[in-house]
Chain A
């Protein structure tokens, strides 16, 4: 055996790896061949209980698993191997997939003792999955890989190109190696390239590419097909780590893996690419998942109320079926009307069109249709088939939209012609079927569709019903998954909020709420204002609606509520009930709305993840804490507080805590966000609570909301919620005020920013500063003036994080 050299110890140490982890291991395959591998092995320590074997792809090496080696040891023995001919392992002749699997199996049998798990990347994925078929494996972690090429996905151009010129690209030149290392940051490039400096050392890189079975008669085809079958049959926990910007293993490959293993946990890294293991900061996710995978379980409040007495489940679609002979109008708006019977008929036709486009139960279908009768038909059509509508927020910006759509890898996209053109040009949904709504409407107009519409599929309470997105006011928007059970359960608390005026219609400035109309079996009137401009909805429009359509309830965003008050001019709106939502509603706004309407004004608490939570009674009441009274939890919902300093539930009366909520109509999970799910889930007596990220207090059973947890000012003396200071200041100064903490957490000082015209913050005049200080319950280090930036969805929430950065920069001096 020729002497082999390992990696430069200095290079390993620079990456935070122990140089003694680098060693050579010789073992014998079943076929009797002796193989020598270079490995990075953290070894057995007294606290080690399990082993994770890491298998790299092409053209990387064990260095790829740096983060896992550092993070998981010594609790885990982590062995990252260099495959034959790769990294610093023995240079051998070509190896087929089947031989690589044989070698990995032999290695594990001869080197690993105790429970074994795998982590694998790229073409290491099929090798590890193949080995899973012959070993007792506890858990499997895969990153940007594939176990088969999905039928509807083309061979990635990079792969086919490298294959065509394999010798030139992979062996004679280092372009394949360098091309790969360029996908990550500079600090890792040298290390990734190090083992592949000469053409001789790169021979296996070329052999590996040549072994990808692109053709049906390829020698490794059978082995890969077998890998696919093994993967489909796995019953062990699987974690999929996915770098979103990968030209080769893109989102369609992730969808394929998820289709084969729907129970797999997914963590998507929006800012990482192919080499997610190096630049995705995967350590915390993997450590957490490995540690908790056995204790996890989707537990929600009992679904008894959801399923009903006779335990038969009726999905969110059942109201459409039930009303299929009802001629009453369900929707009226500037964009047309829709009756129940039309909805039922068109949904069946739409279902036929969608089914012929390949949409089946569980398919995700993105909707680029503005709220309209068409949207109602599309959603009903999708539920008819058991497919999952993906609702995106077009106002969140092109980048966010693209990210949201690509992450869902939808089977199809439904949209207007212009939206679909954008989706095509901007590559929002590669691989998806694009259906213009025009084509569907065309099919609808035929009256007699081709063939019989498919039968509605049977759904259970656990089946996913829809994906919606958070507003993204705090970080990138998260995809929120709802089940049919939750949507059905949501009906009763919303009815409770709308009140007994059963016969009256509902109008709202939240255009997307029109989707609730069928579930509520209540007529919906869409106002004549642009969807994205709720602030245009004022007294004139609302008053016209109420007189023409017997609208009894209006559900308004803060912007619309302000416009209503501003345009009332002493008149009174004749309406029974007004719900205010979208952001904490100041008591003064609620009072002003009550004054111009003489309606019952409620400001229920709710969020994308759970709506509604409270009954909203007490809007307009000044609470001594400065917080917003949102009423008592609606029946079925539970609200608890979590101590801010230690996370316990020992919060005494009147003490500030984080609001935890649970309700049968709560979301199921954040899609593809393992850590976010973990962070937001609190299990109390076996029930999953959602940690809202809001702080508040509970006063005699009523919930008082005091702002966002991340905006809490943590001074040396105590934690202060934003509204505790903002409310008295705003009242004194008659202007919107935001308060942020600057300095290190635990020693922050409070800074007030009074809304003004100037875009760049500056010091307030002496008099204003003195007035603000006189109204503040805590010392203010500085009083500034400047334009307060608000969120796009509600035009109401101030971005405290951005304000904090700006205030810190100013007060740091220059």
Chain B
């Protein structure tokens, strides 16, 4: 039976993929984002505009909230407005449909320690990283909104063809020969191919309908096939035919630099932050048993299969354009 789904933040790679999955199975999708996208039925708007949101979301059977401020170093006040106030607005707007899937991030539970096979913890992060901090507050705030069934999905390191966030940045650094990792590079990290993340979100959407008892729970999602971070970075860069040579930065030095940049850097994108160094040097892999069981979700993309898909993309016309765009930008 086809449904009418309201999706915020559908412009990202993950957002587009979720919409594709929904449309492929016959659902009718309305996208709410800052700029109209002619490919989809979309409404231009800002999630900070509660009134517009509520009006736009009316008449849908469920809401998927992907929109967030993910700039590397956003101003804290702006991040609060989007990731907390905006998220609460979406939750209130979703009350009309009674079903919400809120997309969060595993970083909301970051403790400063590495963890292999970590369970899903409460969103307690209150650190210097504005994104993780405000997403943590946002997750808490959204779950406090009553009157609807809410599930929280925290996908870990989502990537796929055309991804600007993770792959784009890695390629930029590889092109500048600035590819470096703090510590041994052995930290085991989970990654999530975009199709797996999207299908987990769609599964969660269905569970808000048939398993309301799960309401209020959060689930980390990943491909469940972790690798040492050095292998992840090398494999991605190699898939685009670039030199995967990685420099190793002593952990202590990297932490020092990250702290210094946190404090003194005034530009948009600092070369390094303390939070980023922590994320790169410590293990981040997750225990997916509850996710798989409750959401009835099974990852379909092993790390090697995902890398093969990425290499296919790199060889395609779109892949060449993706890389050339970055190459030209780095020359200019």
Contacts and interface: CB of A to CB of B under 8 A. Distances in A.
Given A779-B302, A781-B226, A749 B188 contact: yes
Nearest to A749: B226
B171 interface: no
B81 interface: no
A747 B251 contact: no
B228 A812 contact: no
Contact of A782 (B227, B251, B287): B227
Interface string B287-324: 11100100000000010100000000000000000000
A811 interface: yes
Nearest to B116: A743
Given A749-B188, A810-B186, A812-B115, A763 B288 contact: no
Interface of A: 716, 742-744, 746-749, 762-763, 766, 769, 773, 779, 781-782, 808, 810-814
A241 B230 CA distance: 52
Given A744-B117, A749-B188, A763-B186, A781 B227 contact: yes
A451 B192 CA distance: 86
A813 to B, nearest CB: 3
A782 B228 contact: yes
A782 B186 contact: yes
Contacts of A744: 117, 119, 287
A744 B188 CA distance: 14
Interface residues of B, number: 31
Interface of B: 114-117, 119, 183-188, 224-231, 234, 251, 281-283, 285, 287-289, 292, 302, 304
Nearest to A760: B184
Contact of A813 (B224, B283, B292): B283
A371 to B, nearest CB: 46
A812 B115 CA distance: 6
Given A742-B116, A811-B116, A812-B188, 14 more contacts: A743-B116, A749-B226, A762-B186, A763-B186, A763-B231, A769-B231, A808-B116, A812-B114, A812-B116, A812-B282, A813-B114, A813-B183, A813-B186, A813-B283
6 contacts: A743-B116, A746-B289, A747-B117, A763-B230, A811-B186, A811-B228
Contacts of B281: 813-814
A551 to B, nearest CB: 51
Contact of A812 (B187, B230, B292, B304): B187
A808 B287 CA distance: 15
A33 B288 CA distance: 67
Contacts of B224: 716
Nearest to A782: B228
B116 A766 contact: no
Nearest to B234: A766
Nearest to B229: A813
Contacts of A742: 116-117, 188
B184 A762 contact: yes
Given A743-B285, A810-B184, A716 B226 contact: no
Nearest to A717: B224
A762 B183 CA distance: 12
A781 to B, nearest CB: 5
Contacts of B228: 763, 781-782, 811
A813 B187 CA distance: 4
A743 B234 contact: no
Nearest to A773: B304
Contacts of B116: 742-743, 749, 808, 811-812
Nearest to A746: B289
Contacts of A747: 117, 287-289
Nearest to A810: B186
Contacts of B186: 762-763, 782, 810-811, 813
Nearest to A769: B231
Contacts of B283: 811-813
